Structure 1
Amino acid sequence: MNRSRYLFSALSFLSALVVVACSDAEKGSSGSSGSGPENGNAEALPCDVDKILSTKCQTCHGASPKFGAPFPLVDRSDLVAPAVSDPNKKVYELVAARARDTARPMPPPPTEPLTAAELAIFDQWIAAGMPAGKDTCVDPGGGGTIDPPTLSCTPDVLLAPSAPYVMPKDVQDQYMCYGVDVEIGQKRHLVGIVPRIDNSTIVHHILLFKADEASPSTPTPCNGGDIMGPLLAVWAPGGKATELPLEAGFPLEGTAHFTIQVHYSNIKGLDGQQDSTGFDVCTTTELRPNDAGIFALGTEDINIPPHGSLDVSCDYQFPRDMGAISVISVMPHMHTLGKHLSSNTVPTDGSEPSNLGLADPWNFDNQIWYDNDTILRGGDTVRTRCAWDNPGNRAVEFGERTQDEMCYNFVMYYPSQELESKVEDLTSPTEDVSCVTTK
């Protein structure tokens, strides 16, 4: 595998995610409104606690948990039950801890974290012995169903497996990949991508790659090394559709190969679960003014000592003869030891630096494309910084396994230039990249 192909195969980093990433952008249908002792429910929650859980947690942790969530958070009995991950603790203890965890927060972005006032309400309820609610709660609006992501364009390409994946009940966590080949013929532009979730009970997240070659059309077990090509879209609960600006589209011509990776979670051991999740795609023969592209910033020169830390900053200067490019979105990426990743411009004209991506603190469980409108010009320098802490007994180096590490900031932009073929220069300490380690 050549170096640039390896780089993009590494984009399948999400193959190790096991924590549910849910937000209030797609609500579950199981809010606990209307419950109270007078309705015969002795486990009803106080209305202020009920509102917090309904608006911030029940997207996944509803009465019928979705997207791999292991338990509901609907009534008092749910909160005092032993935790699935640690039976020595109660669910409410983990909820209180994760709500304050800045590295692995619950709820994860884009849902807003619990406010200080909400945390105080929850803490006071716990301190009072978690009494049942006394009033009938009015629906706070958090437990209803919100329409899934949509596009302004009309999809004309369906990316789906040729047969559904049937998940064994004794398998808790599985990654399946399948390919779809689309005969494009004359050049078209891909301008929009929207997820199509078939079985929300077991689907955890999905990825879409523009692959270099065909893959089996039926779902097949896969891992990071199985996938090659630029990552076009990532979706996890709360995510949105991908829609390119009117100025650009991803070029497609001849036969387009796509690979879809689906992460399934069946912690509860449900039987008979099957799924045909995929993506709907908009393409057009009315070509946009520019082709879109993706490149990466960062370094592969990583060696984190055991029980130690590493903090590396790498400068890359764009070719002076490069025309101006417009950034559409960015996606920082590290693995589980990461603590900080940022990219900032150093413009040649002396203007203020621009943020080209920031993850501080780094959260391995929340990796998405972030909108960005930076303009990069020939001669501009981008400084990318990555920092890690390694509590383990062995040194950790660069690699695509979760127990290895990475330092990449992927940039979606237009107009497409020769940067894709120079991705090795953008990610390795060569004559074009200078890296400094902070002791």
Structure 2
Amino acid sequence: MAAQDRARLDPATARAVIDPQSYAEWDGLLDTFDRLREDTPVAWVEPADDAVHPPFWLVTRYDDVMRMSKDNATFLNNPQSVVFSLTDGIEFAKALTGGSEHMVASLVTFDAPVHMKYRKLTQEWFMPKNLRGVEDEIRGIAHAAVDRLLAGGGEADFVKAVSAPYPLHVVMQILGVPEEDEPRMLTLTQQMFGGSDEDLNQSGMKDLPPEAITQLVAGAVKDFEAYFAKLTAERRANPTTDVASTIANAVVDGEPLNDRDMMGYYIILAAAGHDTTSASTAGAMLALAQDAEQWTRVRADRSLLPGIVEEAIRWTTPVQHFMRTAAQDTEVGGQAIAKGDWLMMNYVAANHDPAHFDDPRRFDAARSPNRHLAFGAGAHQCLGLHLARLEMRILFEVLLDRIETVELAGKPARSKSTFVGGLKTLPLRFTAA
């Protein structure tokens, strides 16, 4: 395809769509995506300013992102990075792994037929029938989280008190990580997904350059690997019913998982399994804290809760994008795409597409249908989507039982991150029931 045929973004917009700060300034970001969906829904993004990265196609319309998500033969998770990365980060990953752009090998990075073989190892564990067996345990964790909130004496940061530690505790219990190791897991997760946000990457440095952030993430990966190597040895010697035992003793094509794939499996469950639910949970509470009437209604009628949970997941969109690589010459939204081109499926833009969601910036608990893309679609749809919904439903059942009123006690703040994002602070004022 001739270079002149590409619909290019202007430098300022190109910078905005890859700048972590843009994702902290939510309304401005949505304004940008509204304009792009209308003018250039499939746009070529080249490096701007000092942000050196491989060029890629930005895809912003719901229908296009849905089609790409389902067409796993044309749009591959390999060989290029599945997450937007600067060139320095890509080269660092290749040096660290011996050639792969993926610092972690996991379900997220595998294509068919490998992906489904690995997915099947734990897929049954995360189905609703099996999850019913851990509901009581999750409810106990939810009550402990609300205990922490109420201990704040009527005011607290909901993220620090509840939405960060609660899903972490749930997924660590499922995985088999002892409670005393959870703070370490939280720190490592924030280092991996905190991006350039000085409050989340736990670096102690306010303005990390991109290469320092990359090395920080690499260090977190190594720490994860060391931790789970020890856990693997324990579960092979003394298997239990937890997910760690399933992974440690898994066999694919007659062979045990190799170390890199096994560690990637642990990491994707430990890290992605809590940060995303934390973001959606905080988003739901923000919407309810801003609407006292809705809080009162759902306290009286719990049948409204599933709609609140689902809308919070769409409205927040914790996983903000994934990248794909074109396996062949193709087209997206009428734009010619060449074999080998890198593409960004932007879920924030897709989940706020007015062609699919009426008044998409409004939190609408009664929105139906609500077929959002926050969990992806097709073969790579989120493995833990049933767990995420269950965790949120149980937590809000407990919150609604134990809290009479809730309102904002300050201005919430979003994280600076292009990949996994959401609220990093949510100050609340509340009264106990």
Classify the TM-score, shorter chain: under 0.3
Q: Answer 1 or 2: which has greater strand percent.
A: 1
Q: Answer 1 or 2: which has greater helix percent.
A: 2
Q: Which has the larger radius of gyration?
A: 1
